[in-house]
Amino acid sequence: MLGLMQDWPLLCHRIIDHAATNAGDQPVISRSIEGPMHTTNYAEIRRRALRVAQRLERDGVRLGDRVATLAWNSWRHLESWYGILGIGAIYHTVNPRLFTDQIVWIINHAEDRVIMTDVTFLPLLEKIADQIPTIERTIVYCDSAHMPQTSLRNAVPYEDWLAEADGDFAWKSFDENTAAGMCYTSGTTGGPKGVVYSHRSNVLHAMTALRPDMIGLSGRDIAMPVVPLFHANGWAIGFAAPMAGAALVLPGQKLDGPSIYQLLTDYKVTCTAAVPTVWLGLLQDLEKTGGKLPNLRRVVIGGSACPRAMISTFQNVYGVEVTHAWGMTEMSPLGTTCSLKAEYAALKGDALLDVLQKQGHSPFCVEMKITDDQGRRIPWDGKTFGRLKVRGPAVAKAYFKDDSNILDEEGFFDTGDVGTIDRYGYLNITDRSKDVIKSGGEWISSIELENLAVGHPKVAEAAVIGVRHPKWDERPLLVIVLKPGEKASKEELLAFLEGKIAKWWMPDDVAFVKEIPHTATGKILKTALRAQFKDYVLPSAAA
Ligand code: ADP
């Protein structure tokens, strides 16, 4: 017997319909690329999104076609998303921080037909124009007065293009499993891979993100996603904020400390989200200026591990709650958030920070397991670490145009992360599976060693990699970049780790380098570092 409930497909454009009807006057405030602040609201965003949909259709864009966006967070970017979604086309967010040849590769792989972009990125697009033949038209987020001279064929100012549609248009309806959006992983561990979200997965994921234990927005919130829409599906905020009827502040291109502080203050932002680097910039600025954050209730920090000192400063100096989040492009992207369950609610001081530093627990819609190398589940004891695998309605089951099976026999996706889970379900990421050091059959966490080593006052950056060893398979090598003008010995650095780690975790050697290679998104590029040290002979191996 089937249930007797209505068939109401979970389509993303229903979110903007809901916001326009129930929170139509809620402001959407952007720092425009032209400079001045711009204010609109959800009702107007929906009206313009309908025109985007109508206009795209007139250009021949149809169900399943990919429309790239290469753009900062702004009202135009947001209304384009909904316009694209409303005809069943697919928004493909291109990350401008990728290397140019990766951008060319993913636009070709996605076969994008149209690209919507900010003036900022015209020089880049002009440079690669003859390498991206599938692009028929470039729509530039500006009016004709701000449109620069460009050699791009078929480039039009967005406002002129949009003015050719009157908005007398109805959204299309289709199956909720239809593709909605595309985002390529930035290739931390290999080439970019295309993740394809569906309308259903985006809607369910936004509802999940709205739980109080996750991003937790209400109609009284003023949310500022500093995380760009092009980074891992914009952390769901482009859907979650209008779903909740929360006001939005979109920071455009300026993500430095003073610019972010100005928006937080001027618009009384209550909830914001970004990677640790952004918050480092803000906190450094606040330290200089003595600024305060009286309106900010919560800051969501993820994308890489949030340093303990950052959590402590936000909470203890500024009275702002930190929600440490872990996730990945393949998970839409939120996987876990670190809010306090009843068991931990009374913790204070260091014990509280110990918990808040973890990546947190999973919501309904994300199932986790940790396994050993043979795929056997290992216990949730907070100590044993294993490969982290996940399952859920907003988790990828395959990559775009790629036949390889990425799920195990239980339908779990291997995140490539390694971690522990404690008895209350709190995940602690200890490594990437390709980076964990396997010494005599046991695993050593490179991340934990790195976090400790950067605590040394003379160290600017630290990386730990496994180097071949005749007896132990691999032993850890600590690679160090010293702060300018500093000198330090191997013995001094190793002595600093003593007592903080198990004896057998102690790196066998220290290598001092001028710089450590990074990926386009700023993560340490371990593959390159391992290649650099592939012939390195540890003193313990030579003996
Ligand atoms: P990109 O490589 O483009 O940044 P993702 O955002 O998908 O792509 O990266 C996801 C990976 O980032 C995760 O698998 C994990 O290794 C790392 N990561 C994300 N959040 C955290 C966190 N809070 N702590 C530690 N690692 C994190």
**pLDDT tens, the chain, 543 aa long:** 999 999 999 999 999 999 999 999 999 999 999 999 999 999 999 999 999 999 999 999 999 999 999 999 999 999 999 999 999 999 999 999 888 999 999 999 999 999 999 999 999 999 999 999 999 999 999 999 999 999 998 999 999 999 999 999 999 999 999 999 999 987 555 678 999 999 999 999 999 999 999 999 999 999 999 999 999 999 999 999 999 999 999 999 999 999 999 999 999 999 999 998 899 899 999 999 999 999 999 999 999 888 888 999 999 999 999 999 999 999 999 999 999 999 999 999 999 999 999 999 999 999 999 999 899 999 999 999 999 999 999 999 999 999 999 999 999 999 999 999 999 999 999 988 889 999 988 899 998 899 889 889 999 889 999 999 999 999 999 999 999 999 999 999 999 999 999 999 999 999 999 999 888 777 788 989 999 999 999 998 876
Residue 202 · residue 243 · CB < 8 Å: no
Whether 303 is in the pocket of ligand 1, judged by its Cβ within 6 Å, is yes
Query: Quick one: which H or E segment has residue 92?
Result: strand 90-93
Cα 36 to Cα 74: distance, rounded to the nearest angstrom:
12
Instruction: Kindly give the distance from the C-alpha atom of residue 460 to the centroid of ligand 1, in angstroms, as a whole number.
Output: 21
Q: Where in the chain is the domain with CATH 3.30.300.30?
A: 437-542
Predicted pLDDT of residue 105: 95
The residue count for the chain: 543
Query: Cβ atoms within 10 A of the Cβ of 33, count?
Result: 21
Instruction: Decide whether any atom of ligand 1 lies within 6 Å of the 304 Cβ.
Output: yes
The Cα 407–Cα 367 span in angstroms is: 13
Report the pLDDT value the prediction gives residue 188, as an integer from 0 to 100: 56
Superfamily (CATH H level) for 437-542: ANL, C-terminal domain (3.30.300.30)
Q: Is 331 in the pocket of ligand 1 (CB under 6 A)?
A: no
Q: CB of 189 closer than 6 A to ligand 1?
A: no
Which residue's CA is the nearest one to ligand 1's atom 19? 303
Residue with tokens 């949030």: 306
Give the three-state DSSP class for 47. helix
CATH number 3.40.710.10 is the correct assignment for the domain at 13-246: no
Choose among 327, 355, 353: nearest CA to 341: 355
pLDDT for 307 equals: 86
pLDDT at 540: 85
- Kindly give, in sequence order, each residue whose CB lies less than 8 Å from that of residue 63, ignoring residues fewer than 6 positions away: 87, 88, 89, 172, 174, 178
Q: Answer whether 138 contacts ligand 1 (Cβ < 6 A).
A: no
Tokens 């050593």 correspond to what residue?
444
Q: Which two tokens stand for residue 419?
A: 């971690």
**What residues contact 241, with CB distance under 8 A and at least 6 apart?**
217, 221, 223, 225, 247, 248
Burial of residue 465 (CB within 10 Å: 0-12, 13-18, 19+) is buried
ω into 157 cis (within 30 of 0): no
User: What is the C-alpha separation between 482 and 78, in angstroms, rounded?
Assistant: 42
Domain with CATH 3.40.50.12780 in the chain: 13-246
- 256 CA distance to ligand 1 middle (Å): 21
In order of 211, 265, 347, 360, 365, the CA distances from 341 in angstroms are 13, 31, 11, 10, 18
Which of the listed residues 193, 339, 385, 429 should we mutate to test ligand 1's pocket, taking the one with most ligand atoms within 8 A of CB? 429
C-alpha of residue 274 to centroid of ligand 1, in Å:
12
Q: Which residue numbers are catalytic?
A: 185, 330, 438, 443
The predicted structure's pLDDT at residue 543:
60
Q: Is the CB of 359 under 6 A from ligand 1?
A: yes
β-strand 334-337 against 473-482: which pairing, if any? unpaired
Query: E strands of 136-232, at which residues?
Result: 137-140, 155-157, 179-184, 194-198, 222-225
Query: Would you state the torsion angle of the CA atoms of residues 13, 14, 16, 19, taken in this order, to the nearest 10 degrees?
Result: -170
152 vs 138: CA distance, rounded Å: 8
User: Ligand 1 center to residue 499 CA distance, Å?
Assistant: 29
The confidence score (pLDDT) of residue 466 equals 95
Residue 450 in contact with ligand 1 by CB distance below 6 A: no
188: closest CA among 518, 530, 470? 518
Contact 335, 362 (CB under 8 A): yes
Angle at 61 between CA 249 and CA 10, to 5 degrees: 55
Q: What tokens were used for 535?
A: 């012939």
Find out whether 11 and 81 touch, Cβ atoms under 8 Å: no
Any bridge partners for residue 224, and if so which? 272
Token pair, residue 322, equals 């930190």
In the reported structure, the alpha carbon of residue 523 is separated from the centroid of ligand 1 by a whole-number distance in angstroms of 9
Please state, in angstroms and rounded to a whole number, the distance separating the CA atoms of residues 520 and 44. Answer: 36
- Residue 189: the pLDDT is 55
The DSSP annotation for 465-526 comes to EEEEETTTEEEEEEEEEEPTT----HHHHHHHHTTTS-GGGS-SEEEE-S---B-TTS-B-H
